Amino acid sequence: MATIAFIGLGNMGGPMATNLLKAGHKVTVFDLVPAAVAELVAQGASTADTALAAVKDVDFVISMLPAGRHVESVYLGDNGLLGAVKKTTIIMDSSTIDAATARKVGAAAKDKGIGFMDTPVSGGVAAAAAGTLAFMCGGDSATFEKGKTILQAMGKNIFHAGDNGAGQVAKICNNMLLSVLMIGTSEALRLGVDNGLDASKLSEIMLASSGRNWSLEVYNPYPGVMEKSPASNDYKPGFMVDLMCKDLGLAMETAIQSASATPMGALARNLYTAHQSKGNGQLDFSSILQSLGK
């Protein structure tokens, strides 16, 4: 059993912390939303009045925060957590942020002799609840081996992508590809239905053919085809359009920095941003099908 501080109990962080409790770890939680904290306390977690108090004497710190500026502020700002943890603490930031910030925090941690990894996740809220997330880790090998033992309570696929920042790059590459596949799948289904095909039958055909992909297998974007998919539940997320737009923005910023050609990614970002601007930001990202017409 390990002692763990969990900072950030949103749609993803809350279920992740729950799975740590189920695995028998001693978890202290902190969030700015009292109701989120109360829910974890009811499940057996301890709480602290501040993030600084939460990380005192713990073996691991896990954070799930909205953006790079929040991560930088929490770890490097005035009264930052890097100045409060013990030297043997392993820090894992599961936020999806820019790789530069992950590298900056990682370098500051290294200067203090503290192990740090960026550990963004893939799988969405359902996988967070089920404990089947994929973790994409950026950090040194020793930190990865120690952190992996804790991540296994929250995920089934734990990857070591490279040094600090590599986890973030892997995450944005994955989600850029996911956006392209979801748009392409939605287009194909819409085209088939517009020409008289049944969406379920067409999905069955494409699943057995060369168009097979994750969206068709487990996340069909056409309503009524897959009972438990967001599409069949009024596009309740899931993974929100707002978050896909955020990730695609990070992907395009990274592409500019490395002078990488990402024409499909750029188009996907434009399409998702247009969908978002029409008031669809809180819908699941598979709702992009709705932007394709009737």
How many Å apart are CA 118 and CA 103, to the nearest integer? 9
Helices (H) and strands (E) in the chain, counts: 12, 9
Residue 138 CB-half CA count within 13 A = 27
Query: Rounded to the nearest 5°, which phi and psi values hold at 190?
Result: -65, -45
Rounded Cα gap, residues 195 and 187, in angstroms: 12
Residue tagged 């799930």 (tokens): 64
Structure tokens at 255: 């592409």
The rounded distance, in Å, linking the Cα atoms of 240 and 140 is 32
SS3 260: coil
Rounded-to-integer distance, Cα 123 and Cα 104, Å: 26
Strand ranges inside 147-269, DSSP E: 155-162
**Whether the bond into 238 is cis, omega within 30 of 0:** yes
Q: Could you report how far apart the first and last alpha carbons of the chain are, in Å? A: 54
Q: Is 171 an active-site residue?
A: yes
Which one from 146, 171, 228, 294 is the annotated catalytic residue?
A: 171
Closest to 170 measured CA to CA, from 99, 113, 70: 99
Over its C-alpha atoms, the chain yields an Rg (Å, rounded) of 20
Q: What does the block give as tokens for 63?
A: 């954070």
**What string of DSSP letters covers 125-155?**
HHHHHHT-EEEEEES-HHHHHHHHHHHTTTE
By annotation, the residues acting in catalysis are: 171
